[in-house]
């Protein structure tokens, strides 16, 4: 008689800890596609991207906002086809223009392995001045990414308790965050640990590296996995890397004790 296996059922996440060039949209798109293909080769099921990888954080001063279009714009249509070919799920940070109001949003799109969009989250806690180009989002609900309900945050959305708490109350089983958040001038401090402790949920943060011109450095920014108030995995990098970690699908706990880092 064969006994049922008690081995965990892993799935692999890849965090694209990228170093985008400020204002270089075409080059950054190519960097992302290279990173997504590499993550897929490494067996990733889910791929997370950092905040505003396509343009850099302080892009508006350099290139303005006319290039931001209603979605799906031509590049996103192409990218969704790439995702479908690779059969991966991507949490894609990508600024968008509302076609009805012409307002701009700092948004994460969750693109399923068949290339369809499962849902979006528009950043709610927009940072004054630095993100003056963006309107705050006004909707917060978990996104169904079968078999899970996922709460999506963007950077400063995780700084205070209410948004993570609301996602938990609505049935989120896991929190993920795109971020562009170094230690200077105002770092995350212990906000990620606190949001995980308050909700009891794992929190995965995909951050970035590099510099935005001469004004802002993300070289000390960390991508992390936090659970029950503790950082279980954390990584920094001076160059663009793909960080992978394995998870137990059943218990939603990381199986990896450290990120595997692959340089691009």
Is the pLDDT reported for residue 214 higher than 90? Answer: no
Measured distance between the N- and C-terminal CA atoms of the chain, rounded to whole angstroms: 48
Copy the structure tokens of residue 49.
């991207």
Per residue in 72-107, pLDDT tens? 999 999 999 999 999 999 999 999 999 999 999 999
Q: Is 184 exposed, middle or buried (0-12, 13-18, 19+ CB in 10 A)?
A: exposed
Best CA proximity match to 179, nearest among 206, 199, 198, 158: 206
Q: In this model, does residue 182 exceed pLDDT 50?
A: yes
pLDDT band at residue 1, thresholds of 50, 70 and 90? very low
pLDDT score recorded for residue 4: 43
Query: Residue 10: its pLDDT value, please?
Result: 78
Mean pLDDT of 226-231: 94
108: Cα within 13 Å, side-chain hemisphere: 30
Q: Is the dihedral of CA 169, 92, 108, 186 positive or negative?
A: positive
How far from the centroid of its chain's Cα atoms is residue 11's Cα?
A: 17
pLDDT level of residue 249 (50, 70, 90 thresholds): confident
- In this predicted structure, the answer to whether residue 179 has a pLDDT above a threshold of 90 is yes
Question: Three-class SS of residue 192?
Answer: helix
DSSP summary character for residue 105: E
Provide the 10 A C-beta neighbour count for residue 69: 14
Mean pLDDT across 49-75: 97
pLDDT reading at 3 higher than 50: no
- The mean pLDDT value for 215-239 works out to 96
When the pLDDT of each residue in the chain is averaged and rounded to a whole number, the result is: 95
Q: Residue 9's pLDDT band (boundaries 50, 70, 90)?
A: low
Residue 222 scores a pLDDT above 80: yes
Q: Kind of pairing, strands 253-254 and 46-48?
A: unpaired
**CB 36, CB 90: distance < 8 Å:** yes
Report pTM.
0.95
The pLDDT-based confidence of 5 (bands split at 50, 70, 90) is: very low
Using alpha carbons only, how large is the chain's radius of gyration in Å? 17
Q: Which residue has the tokens 């450290």?
A: 258
In 3D space, the residue among 93, 92, 96 whose CA is nearest the CA of residue 105 turns out to be 96
* Residue ranges of domains in the chain, CATH in brackets: 10-263 (3.60.110.10)
């Amino acid at each position: 008689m064969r006994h049922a296996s008690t081995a965990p059922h892993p799935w692999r996440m890849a965090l694209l800890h990228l170093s985008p060039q400020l204002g270089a949209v075409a080059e950054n798109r190519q960097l992302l596609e290279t990173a997504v293909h590499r993550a897929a080769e490494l067996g990733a099921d889910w791929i997370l991207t950092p905040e505003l990888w396509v343009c850099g954080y302080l892009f508006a001063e350099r290139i303005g906002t006319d290039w931001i279009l209603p979605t799906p714009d031509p590049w996103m249509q192409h990218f969704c086809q790439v995702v479908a070919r690779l059969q991966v799920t991507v949490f894609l940070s990508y600024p968008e223009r509302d076609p009805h109001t012409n307002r701009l949003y700092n948004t994460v799109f969750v693109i399923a392995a068949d290339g369809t969009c499962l849902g979006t989250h528009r950043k709610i806690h927009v940072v004054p001045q630095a993100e003056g180009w963006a309107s705050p989002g006004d909707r917060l609900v978990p996104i169904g990414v079968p078999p899970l309900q996922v709460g999506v945050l963007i950077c400063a959305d995780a700084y205070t308790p209410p948004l993570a708490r609301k996602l938990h109350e609505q049935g989120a089983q896991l929190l993920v965050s795109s971020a562009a958040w170094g230690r200077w001038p105002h770092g995350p401090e212990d906000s990620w640990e606190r949001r995980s402790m308050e909700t009891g949920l794992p929190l995965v943060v995909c951050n970035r590296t590099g510099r935005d011109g001469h004004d802002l450095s993300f070289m000390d920014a960390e991508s992390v996995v936090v659970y029950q108030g503790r950082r279980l995995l954390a990584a920094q990098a001076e160059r663009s890397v793909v960080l992978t970690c394995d998870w137990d699908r059943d218990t939603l706990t990381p199986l990896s004790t450290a990120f595997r880092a692959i340089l691009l």
